[in-house]
Structure 1
Amino acid sequence: MFTHVDLRTRFGERGYGGLYSSESLVAVLEEVETAFLKARADDAFMDKFKDVLRNFAGRATPVMYAERLSEKYGRRIFLKREDLLHGGAHKTNSTIGQLLLAEYMGKTRIIAETGAGQHGVATAMTGAKLGLPVEVYMGAVDIERQQTNVKRMELFGAQVHPVTNGGATLKDAINEAMRDWITNVGSTYHCFGTAAGPYPYPSMVKFFQSVIGNESRAQMVEMTGALPSAVFACIGGGSNAIGMYSAFEDDPDVLLFGAEPAGASEDPDRHAATLTRGTPGVFHGMHSLFLQNSEGQITNTHSIAAGLDYPGVGPELAAMQDSGRATFEAVSDEETVNVFAELSELEGIIPAFESAHALALALRKAEELDPEATILVCVSGRGDKDLEEYWNYRGI
């Protein structure tokens, strides 16, 4: 059900990853690593993890053949329906794993950061399930555009802290959560939202999210008799992508694609396309690619998808780009909202703006693939949260 992950601290020839943190956090990160290695080998822990995924989160999620979309674009298109997971997005996989780990470690308080609100919602509802108090840091800009998710977090009993520093988006929320953790390392566990940050988070989150890829692999073989020709996912920090890719990374015939946010086409400097435009640096405890100026200062970003509005990317994805194993391209806000409407009208599925990026890239690439190709797209979340933003964008 889960991919075995080699907990390397570094990825690729450039040595992405690592642990760049204050001395006070190094010890607690080592504590997290030790607990995770022990828990992963503990049958009782893993049995509980699988049970909660099945009976609380609703796994396994289906792979669906998108018949009308396939007819229109002349390629067989399949959708991995993470939008049907409890909470509405793939984030639930990792929050269940991490909060069970926090419980395993004896932690009594959970903090998290969130952009689109999906990780915050997943952390809050998992905390409610396990009886762990949750506090969520969220940028003021994201709070304004994701009010539905803010209300959901509060209904689950979580406290939401608005962050007004910097660009008041995801990177600033992460900064505040890390400051909190440094102050409260004894009692607190930081539930990190993506496969990024200091070691061991990139590898640990990949492990918890690998259920997406492993299910997809088995489902595609059952449905088509073969592995998919190409796999697509959206990229912010990269947790849904690395989870999906994990089951196919050793299959060279399976092409791996990632969609980054190009933002507003009329303003090419307002984007969050880290893999296609970023440069190496150190931020949020890791060595990876970041959007930064010539002096190494992290720049503000923009995407219509709040969950992709991040100036960095997970280190393993950066290494996969360097090696040529995965290909990443940027998708504009306009392409995203068009596909958001198209999937809704053709298949009755309202995708998250984040997921619409992935599908937009898949449709762009479809004609370049063999006519017999099978395309698998990770629909990482549902789009209820984005409806108001969609109508605002359309001016309606």
Structure 2
Amino acid sequence: MNFQNPDKDGYYGDFGGAFIPEMLYPNVEELQQKYIQIIESEEFETEYQDLLTNYVGRATPLYFAKSLSEKYGAQIYLKREDLNHTGAHKINNALGQALLAKKLGKKRIIAETGAGQHGVATATACALLGLECIVYMGEIDIDRQAPNVARMKMLGAKVVPATSGSKTLKDAVNEALRDWINNATNTHYIIGSVVGPHPFPDLVARFQSVISKEIKEQLNQKLGRKNPDYLIACVGGGSNAAGTFYHFLNDQYVKLIVAEAGGLGIDSGKSAATTFLGTLGILHGSQSLIMQTEDGQVIEPHSISAGLDYPGIGPMHTHLFAEKKAEFFSINDDEALQSAFDLTKTEGIIPALESAHALAVLDKKKFEKEDVVVICLSGRGDKDMETYLKHLDNY
């Protein structure tokens, strides 16, 4: 079974597709017909790889975490996506899609953001490439991610608050889709995760696949082997996990572990653990698992992490869950906070709250001494300092 790419209709098994309003059909169809041809062209690849190396700062280090390894009795490596320009993995996709938009003749870019990292990455790419940029962000997220809002504005982006619903990531996506419907001809929507109508999940996964490509090369260089025993990544929509897993998806010996945001607990009514709480439905243009009521109304998610505060997961990850190809853990807010403070105090690295969910798996899963475990450190914790400071005395 091929877990890496969807079929011609955008399905990973039973999940995916393109469920879109008629007004968006020309845009989405244009993308479907042209994206692979463009991004696999020599001209595009040369320009994109040059930017990844000389602008983003890739390859990011694969760091052997000595203190973590001693504590948990395994060989633990951190893939340092936090060291990318703009502070997270999001820039890999934002730059790629902005370049693609230019090739398609689009001069206006819209994006959604939760934690603000995708918004900052998109604003950065647009500033570099001379594109107009509008970022939709939930009103609550604007308040809790103020530093990233300031960065987006400084980069020339217009930040538009989403004031409906839970005023978080889901609602920002809704607003961005409305904009796209009204400005279909001149606008490209840079979706930040492996969600949305086909071809977005595949497109984002391909741009993020540089993460797993480097992991293979770096493990070979360090250990003389290309494959780890375990890969761990957090999932909201799931772009950093898609990138971390991509080149290992069809390898039967590499074990994949996903950390979802448990919020205040699966049974608390304040959670974002979609594989534990979700049912089959359609959200933001694709069929996947969604947290919803019996009559199909979306249940508002909760996570201390703005980037994981989403009521669904991408179709690739839903397929991995359905086929038991990956093991899923629900990580509560307090568990993520504990792991964040532990990493900071033992390795001198302040992680993003999103990444802290992946780190928390170490307290829930038993590893052997010879196991090679790679954790995607998807972003740095600068944006979360206000939250960390509130809990400083508790950890």
- TM-score (norm: length of structure 1): 0.96
Partner of 1:312: 312
Q: Take 1:375 and 1:4, find their aligned partners in 2: how far apart are those partners?
A: 21
Q: Take 1:205 and 1:186, find their aligned partners in 2: how far apart are those partners?
A: 21
Q: For 2:342, what is the secondary structure of its paired residue?
A: helix
Partner of 1:376: 374
Partner of 1:162: 161
Kept in 1, the 8 Å contact 2:6–2:12? The answer is no
Q: Take 1:334 and 1:392, find their aligned partners in 2: how far apart are those partners?
A: 12
Shift of 1:152: 0.5
Does residue 73 of the first structure (1) align with residue 72 of the second (2)? yes
Partner of 1:261: 261
Q: Take 2:20 and 2:194, find their aligned partners in 1: how far apart are those partners?
A: 17
Q: What pairs up with 1:173-212 in 2 under 5 angstroms?
A: 173-212=172-211
Task: State the identity as a percent.
Answer: 46
Shift of 1:197: 0.5
Q: Take 1:12 and 1:134, find their aligned partners in 2: how far apart are those partners?
A: 31
Does residue 239 of the first structure (1) align with residue 239 of the second (2)? yes
Q: For 1:247, what is the secondary structure of its paired residue?
A: helix
Kept in 1, the 8 Å contact 2:136–2:175? The answer is yes
What letter corresponds to residue 321 of structure 1 in structure 2? Answer: F
What letter corresponds to residue 268 of structure 1 in structure 2? Answer: S
Shift of 1:266: 9.7
Q: For 1:72, what is the secondary structure of its paired residue?
A: helix
Kept in 1, the 8 Å contact 2:355–2:379? The answer is yes
Q: Take 2:38 and 2:341, find their aligned partners in 1: how far apart are those partners?
A: 43
Kept in 2, the 8 Å contact 1:11–1:319? The answer is no
Shift of 1:305: 0.5
Report Cα offsets for 1:130-186 as digits up to 9, x if no partner: 111100000001001000000010110100001110000000000000000000011
Kept in 2, the 8 Å contact 1:262–1:268? The answer is no
Shift of 1:220: 1.4
Aligned residues: 391
Report Cα offsets for 1:327-371 as digits up to 9, x if no partner: 111000001001111101111110000000001113421xx2222
Seen in structure 2, the aligned counterparts of structure 1 residues 89 and 217 have a Cα distance that, compared at 3 Å, is same
Kept in 2, the 8 Å contact 1:7–1:200? The answer is no
Shift of 1:4: 8.2
- TM-score (norm: length of structure 2): 0.96
Kept in 2, the 8 Å contact 1:276–1:329? The answer is no
Q: Take 2:101 and 2:337, find their aligned partners in 1: how far apart are those partners?
A: 38
Q: For 2:271, what is the secondary structure of its paired residue?
A: coil
Q: What pairs up with 1:131-142 in 2 under 5 angstroms?
A: 131-142=130-141
Q: For 2:248, what is the secondary structure of its paired residue?
A: coil
Kept in 2, the 8 Å contact 1:12–1:323? The answer is no
Kept in 1, the 8 Å contact 2:10–2:199? The answer is no
Q: Which runs of 4+ in 1 moved over 4 A?
A: 3-7
Q: Take 1:90 and 1:8, find their aligned partners in 2: how far apart are those partners?
A: 27
Does residue 330 of the first structure (1) align with residue 330 of the second (2)? yes
Q: For 1:377, what is the secondary structure of its paired residue?
A: strand
What letter corresponds to residue 238 of structure 2 in structure 1? Answer: G
Does residue 387 of the first structure (1) align with residue 366 of the second (2)? no
Does residue 21 of the first structure (1) align with residue 23 of the second (2)? no
Kept in 2, the 8 Å contact 1:83–1:379? The answer is yes
Q: Take 2:4 and 2:358, find their aligned partners in 1: how far apart are those partners?
A: 26
What letter corresponds to residue 353 of structure 2 in structure 1? Answer: F
Q: What pairs up with 1:85-234 in 2 under 5 angstroms?
A: 85-226=84-225, 227-234=227-234
Partner of 2:349: 349
Q: CA RMSD in A?
A: 1.6
Shift of 1:254: 0.8
Kept in 1, the 8 Å contact 2:266–2:276? The answer is no
Seen in structure 2, the aligned counterparts of structure 1 residues 267 and 319 have a Cα distance that, compared at 3 Å, is closer
Gaps of at least 5 residues in structure 2 are: none
Q: Which is worse superposed, 202-211 or 385-394?
A: 385-394
Q: For 1:215, what is the secondary structure of its paired residue?
A: helix
Q: For 2:194, what is the secondary structure of its paired residue?
A: coil
Shift of 1:247: 1.2
Report Cα offsets for 1:196-242 as digits up to 9, x if no partner: 10000001111101000110111112212222110000000000101
